[in-house]
Amino acid sequence: MGGVAVAAGGGLALSALANQYYQQVLHKERNLRPISDIVNNPDAREKGLAVLENLNRVGTFGLFGELANTVMNVGKGGDNRELSIDGRVIAVQSLLSMFDAVNSFIAQGFNADYTHVIRPAFNALGGTSLLQYMQIANNAQDGLPPN
């Protein structure tokens, strides 16, 4: 659960950075609920939709984030970037990658190793960005003294 919080925090930070780029460099507004809505809007549903839109635009949770955004944001305005043919091709590729990971698991005598089973299965489930955020957090902690 902590990894999801780190990934969400990193995704929102990236989205805020992209927001600044759009406003100050391109002089445009993004078609998203602003991140300030997360703090300032008293409506919990709008806060949730603002988080979902911003994380989806950055791609933090991959296909599952797109699917959640498609289901929750239908007809709500804001970022209605729905699943597309591209997303469906990626979904089929993810399904095939998961099949390969399960196939490796069976071929290894039901022995799961990180290289051939766990990491490919995690990537097939859309966990690539979460792995990257966890590696960033791990590398950032390398310079810290132990407790």
31 Cα distance to chain centroid: 19
CA distance 7 to 132: 9
pLDDT digits (tens, 9 = 90+) for 57-100: 887 787 778 788 888 877 665 556 666 677 678 778 888 999 99
Question: How high is the pLDDT of residue 101?
Answer: 94
Instruction: Write down the pTM of the prediction.
Output: 0.54
Spatial neighbors of 104 by CB under 8 A, at least 6 apart, are 116, 117, 120
- Alpha helices (H) in the chain, listed in sequence order: 2-24, 36-40, 44-58, 62-72, 85-107, 119-124, 128-141
Q: What is the SS3 assignment for 2?
A: helix
